[in-house]
Amino acid sequence: MSVVRMSRAGSNMEHYEERVDLACAFRWAARLGLHEAVANHFSLGVGGGMVLINPDRRHFSRLRASDMLLIDVNDDSTPEREDAPDPTAWGLHGAIHRECGHVGCAMHVHSVYATVLACLEDSRLPPLEQSAAMFHDRLLIDEGYDGLAFAEEGARCAAMLNARPECRVMVMGNHGVLVVGPNVAETFDYLFYFERACEIYVKALSTGRPLRVMSDGVASRVVSQIENYPVEGMSSGERHFSELRLTLDEQEPEYRE
């Protein structure tokens, strides 16, 4: 679902608004340092097995709406296309969009602090503060890393997501993080807050001092309060993302092309 509706005269791109949302998410991921070189991938289902995904080995900061690939995750010949997505993008995101009906959007990155968490023997994120509490009992931890995310890894991750559909985030042990949601706005919001929560946790650990961790009861209450936050119209995630789009409209309007 798109948040800020802006027309583009003469545009004949399929799923234009969804492309714009993805382009915005890529550019903000780069601005925030959530990307890694020309790796990592975001994808968005647009119906009928069709998915928008970033092109192979292009930097997030330069992506435009027209750059998004429209692929069919049920077409086995997709990896043979001249403009085929990265093989690991096909392996991971293709499996998720084929197998996980509850996932509209998937964002996979090797962001620094989430990846630090993925490197710890205990990759749980304790509810130290509100951002961390958002993910209380909403976090999957994959301890079965077995190499790059080709088809078998993708299928295994998709099965984990289906087993816990309430989970928004998968900490991919020895790898990075996978965030899923219904649309680009909500998924990017989850990604932003998860990375922020991981940064606070890692920095709190670095002090060497005892941590003040919320009880399970308080953390569960915070989850409920956030998920039922009293807003009219846009959700908090959609409002956050609309502000990001408006900022790019002013500063980098070519992302919409």
pLDDT tens digit sequence for 72-118: 999 999 989 989 999 999 999 999 999 999 999 999 999 999 999 99
Residue 10 pLDDT grade (very low, low, confident, very high; cuts 50, 70, 90) = very low
CA triplet 241, 182, 91: central angle to 5 degrees? 110
pTM of the full structure: 0.91
**Mean pLDDT, the chain, integer:** 92
In the chain, the percentage of residues whose pLDDT exceeds 70 is 95
Give the pLDDT of residue 178.
98
Smallest CA-to-CA distance from 244 within 191, 183, 188 is with 188
Strand ranges, E, within 55-155: 69-72, 105-109, 139-142
Give the pLDDT of residue 231.
78
Confidence check: pLDDT of 145 > 90? no
- Which domains does the chain show, CATH number per domain? 16-256 (3.40.225.10)
> Could you give the C-alpha distances from 201 to 119, 129, 197, in angstroms and in order?
14, 9, 6
> Could you give the C-alpha distances from 174 to 114, 120, 183, 206, in angstroms and in order?
11, 8, 27, 20
Q: Is the dihedral angle over the CA atoms 103, 106, 111, 115 positive or is it negative? A: positive
Does an H or E element contain 247, and which? Answer: helix 236-251
CA distance 237 to 71: 27
How many alpha carbons fall within 13 Å on the CB side of residue 69?
A: 24
Give the pLDDT of residue 12.
60
The amino acid that residue 1 corresponds to is: M
CA distance 56 to 89: 9
Give the pLDDT of residue 1.
40
Confidence check: pLDDT of 9 > 70? no
Name the packing angle between helices 112-119 and 184-206 (round to 10°): 60
Here the tokens at position 145 are 């890393």
Q: Which residues of 208-217 are buried (b: 16+ CB within 10 A; e: fewer)?
A: eeeeeebeee
CA 244 to mean position of chain CA atoms: 15
Does an H or E element contain 79, and which? Answer: none
Mean pLDDT of 124-135: 96
Residues in the chain: 257
Mean pLDDT of 149-171: 92
The amino acid that residue 211 corresponds to is: L
Here the tokens at position 27 are 């550019």
CA distance 211 to 168: 25
Mean pLDDT of 114-138: 96
Mean pLDDT of 220-239: 87
